[in-house]
């Protein structure tokens, strides 16, 4: 479904600010798999998802998605196959358009029909049904501007929009991190239901150890632009929030050990 072969990305290459955000990442995700991605700040989680979505081209390596080599495809072309939800509830929806109009746009996205999205009666009824299924009481407010909704409601709708066309791949980047705990729980429940119901192949970045332990069938941990741990099957099922935290501590210990070594090297070579 998704195959990443030796992908690398360096920002500000050759300058003092150089960041090697992805360093030879290999990852193969089977159809229907739900992969949770964790890692410390700046470890390359968002860069990994952005590389797949085509926010930039990778410097090296190959990206295959749904039987296509998409390595050199621009972002809009990959968007036909990909649904995305970001951390910020204000990303991904048009605030001045109504809920219905936003959903209609999402449904048409990637089909290159321009903005001729005047809603037909039938599709309004279908959309209302889908919104009703979310159980957030928004089905009677389809004509309200999306800007009038709370962050949680907005993320729920963005999620619905991202999954509406059953994308080959769903990318979620800390999509509950900006929400209050109750809304976050609600959006997570919706996420689980939608992925299970539509058997969506998913990559979900999270900071929550609870989510990392309870969601998905695979967990990868990024460290410095590389995949450090990869738990699947029974090994994933056995993970608890505590055992994942323990892995983080292990990594921190290694990083601490690394720093003086790196310092020493710098002194030798500079």
- Smallest gap from Cβ 7 to ligand ADP, in A, equals 13
Using CB under 6 A as the criterion, what x/- string covers residues 2-41 for binding ligand ADP?
A: ---------x-------x-x-----------------x-x
Q: Using an 8 Å Cβ cutoff, are 63 and 50 in contact?
A: no
Is residue 46 a contact point for ligand ADP (CB under 6 A)?
yes
CB closer to Mg ion, 134 vs 171: 171
**Could you tell me the smallest distance in angstroms from the CB atom of residue 40 to ligand ADP?**
7
Tell which one of 42, 95, 137, 147 touches ligand ADP (CB under 6 A).
Answer: 42
106-145: which residues touch ligand ADP (CB under 6 A)?
Answer: none
Residue 92: CB atoms within 10 Å: 20
> To the nearest whole angstrom, how small is the minimum distance from the Cβ of residue 38 to ligand ADP?
9
Spatial CA neighbour of 153 closest among 187, 194, 204: 187
Residue closer to ligand ADP by CB (options 20, 165) is 20
3-state secondary structure at position 102: helix
Question: Between 50 and 158, whose beta carbon lies closer to ligand ADP?
Answer: 50
Rule CB under 6 A: say whether 177 interacts with ligand ADP: no
CB-nearer residue toward ligand ADP: 54 or 164? 54
Measured from the CB atom, is 119 or 177 closer to ligand ADP?
177
Question: Is residue 175 near ligand ADP by the rule CB under 6 A?
Answer: no
DSSP secondary structure letters along 103-170: HHHHHHTTS--TT--PPPHHHHHHHHHHHHHTTSS-GGGTTSBGGGS-HHHHHHHHHHHHHTT--SEE
Per 3-state DSSP, what percentage of the chain is helix, strand, and coil (rounded to 5)? 40, 25, 35
Structure tokens at 231: 């738990």
Q: Residue 270: exposed, middle, or buried by beta-carbon count in 10 A (0-12, 13-18, 19+)? A: exposed
- Interacting residues toward ligand ADP by CB under 6 A: 11, 19, 21, 39, 41-47
């Amino acid at each position: 479904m998704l195959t990443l072969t030796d992908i690398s990305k360096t920002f500000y290459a050759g300058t003092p600010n150089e960041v090697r955000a992805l360093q030879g990442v290999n990852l193969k995700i089977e159809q229907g798999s739900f992969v949770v991605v964790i890692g410390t700040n700046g470890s390359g989680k968002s860069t990994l998802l952005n590389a797949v979505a085509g926010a930039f081209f990778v410097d090296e390596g190959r990206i295959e998605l749904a039987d296509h080599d998409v390595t050199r495809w621009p972002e809009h072309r990959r968007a036909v196959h990909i649904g995305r939800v970001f951390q910020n509830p204000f990303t991904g929806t048009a605030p001045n358009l109504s809920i219905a109009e936003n959903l209609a746009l999402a449904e048409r996205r990637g089909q290159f029909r321009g903005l001729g999205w005047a809603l037909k009666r039938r599709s309004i009824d279908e959309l209302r049904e889908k919104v009703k299924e979310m159980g957030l009481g928004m089905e009677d407010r389809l004509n309200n501007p999306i800007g009038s909704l709370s962050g949680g409601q907005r993320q729920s709708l963005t999620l619905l929009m991202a999954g509406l066309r059953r994308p080959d791949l769903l990318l979620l980047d800390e999509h509950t991190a900006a929400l209050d705990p109750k809304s976050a729980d609600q959006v997570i429940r919706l996420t689980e239901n939608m992925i299970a119901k539509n058997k969506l192949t998913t990559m979900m970045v999270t900071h929550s150890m609870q989510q990392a332990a309870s969601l998905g069938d695979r967990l990868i941990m990024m460290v410095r632009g590389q995949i450090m741990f990869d738990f699947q099957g029974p090994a994933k099922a056995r993970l608890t929030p505590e055992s994942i935290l323990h892995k983080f501590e292990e990594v921190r210990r290694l990083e601490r050990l690394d720093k003086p070594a790196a310092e020493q090297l710098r002194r030798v070579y500079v």
